[in-house]
Structure 1
Amino acid sequence: MIALIRKLALAITIIGALNWGVVGLFRFDVVAQFANGYAQPLARFFYSVVGVSGLISLGLLFDTWREENVEQVTLAEPEEV
């Protein structure tokens, strides 16, 4: 379930990034156009969802760093006396 939420959050973050790319290149905000203005409650909801998704996706970055930095330790079998 957590993996599904993380994948969904990453997809929403990418969509939000694409929206900001369109804003930067063409001065056209898709979310604001869809919601009839950037300050409308619906637009603010979408922006909030993208922000929370970004925070969840940030956790994926740290998980990747942690996996790269963890050394694998093998346990030896106890000796028989």
Structure 2
Amino acid sequence: MWNKIALILVIIGALNWGCVALFATDVVGFIFGGTYSVFSRIIFGLVGLAGLFLIPSLFSDKKTD
């Protein structure tokens, strides 16, 4: 379950970076009141933690559900 939550957060982060690159628009910042608002920074922090959480899965041979 935690892997799925982390994967969803990482996908959100990847889509946000794609929007920044393609459209110069920070969607998370737009939704939560600006790039530097407390809520945006919490979301960005959660995305970063999710990325760190998933690093070991790169080196694992086990299939996760």
Shorter-normalised TM range: 0.7 to 0.9
Task: Find the partner of 1:60 among 48, 57, 62.
Answer: 57
**Pairwise CA RMSD of aligned residues?**
1.1
Q: Is 1:29 the counterpart of 2:26 in the alignment? A: yes
Residues 1-81 of structure 1 correspond to what in structure 2 (within 5 A)?
4-64=1-61
Q: Which amino acid counterpart does residue 25 of structure 2 have in structure 1? A: F
**What are structure 2's unaligned runs of at least 5 residues?**
none
For the pair shown, the structure with the greater C-alpha radius of gyration is: 1
**Which consecutive aligned stretches of 4+ in structure 1 deviate over 3 angstroms post-superposition?**
none
Normalising by the residue count of structure 2, what TM-score does the alignment of the two structures yield?
0.87
Residue 11 of structure 1: how far off its partner (Å): 1.4
After superposition, what is the alpha-carbon deviation per residue over 1:26-70, rounded to whole angstroms, capped at 9, x for unaligned? 001111101111111000000000000001111211213xx6xxx
- Higher relative contact order, chain-length normalized (CA < 8 Å, sep 6+): 2
Aligned equivalents of 2:40, 2:5: Cα separation in 1:
19
Gaps of 5+ in 1: 68-81
TM-score, normalization by structure 1? 0.71
Identity over aligned pairs, percent: 40
